Amino acid sequence: MKNFLIRFMGIGKPTQKDIEKIEAEKNLRILDSVGKTLRIETDQTTLNRLLTQLKDWGLQQERVYPLPTTRKRFE
């Protein structure tokens, strides 16, 4: 299972009906919610099925960037 960001692209706030559809999905866990964006954990099959039902939602796969090492090196 991977982490994805789904964002409501419609006007205003996401409808309660959309949120209930997302919460009702098996194999899906909402990790975080900020504004119109939800961070979810699910598999690709579940996500594709869900996004066909939700017309005003867009998708991005979560990207993780390693932090740079700031330790001083002595040679």
Burial bucket for residue 53 (CB in 10 Å: 0-12, 13-18, 19+)? exposed
- Domains defined for the chain, CATH in brackets: 2-61 (3.30.70.250)
Confirm if 9 and 57 have CB atoms less than 8 A apart.
yes
Q: Which two tokens stand for residue 54?
A: 């939700």
Q: What is the pLDDT along the chain (75 residues), one digit of tens a residue?
A: 888 999 999 999 998 999 999 999 989 999 999 989 999 999 999 999 999 999 899 987 778 889 988 888 777
Residue 61 burial (C-beta neighbours within 10 Å; 0-12, 13-18, 19+): exposed
Return the pLDDT at 74.
Answer: 78
pTM, rounded to two decimals: 0.75
